[in-house]
């Protein structure tokens, strides 16, 4: 039996697994098994992408993968359970989106009836 060839996970496919070791080390893995009819000899038959970091970093990374399913290991259940979606404030935004959102908040605050700029 030969060594498994690995490629990259396909967007919209596979599962992201989030876990924490007993030593408190957080990691996640996006795993995608390619369909047999799409794999030729000498080509990867699965895609894998791994990440390690703090709990917040790992969960943020996991939620930003374009996978089909998201799971987190539960010590209480001794099984993988669905990873709940993040609130919008928890997801990292690209700099230009963050700047636009901050500007929109400033404009709304300036137009608010409670704003000092509108009290005359």
pLDDT of residue 36: 85
For 2-40, the pLDDT digits (tens) are: 567 789 999 999 999 999 999 999 999 999 999 988 888
Give ∠ CA 77-92-47 in degrees, rounded to 5. Answer: 60
**Residue keyed to tokens 């010590």:** 75
Counting Cα atoms < 13 Å in the Cβ hemisphere of 65 gives 30
Domain ranges of the chain: 6-86, 91-120
Per mean pLDDT, which of 10-14, 75-79, 83-87, 93-97 is the most reliable?
10-14
């Amino acid at each position: 039996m030969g060594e498994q060839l690995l490629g990259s996970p396909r967007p919209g496919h596979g599962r992201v697994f989030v876990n924490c070791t007993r030593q408190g080390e957080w990691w996640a893995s996006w795993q995608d098994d390619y369909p047999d009819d799409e794999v030729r000899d000498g080509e990867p038959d699965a895609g894998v992408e791994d990440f390690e970091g703090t709990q917040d970093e790992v969960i943020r990374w996991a939620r930003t993968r374009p996978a089909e399913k998201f799971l987190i290991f539960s010590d209480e259940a001794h099984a993988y359970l669905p990873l709940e979606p993040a609130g919008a404030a928890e997801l990292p935004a690209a700099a230009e989106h963050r700047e636009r959102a901050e500007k929109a908040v400033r404009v709304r605050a300036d137009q608010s009836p409670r704003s000092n700029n509108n009290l005359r």
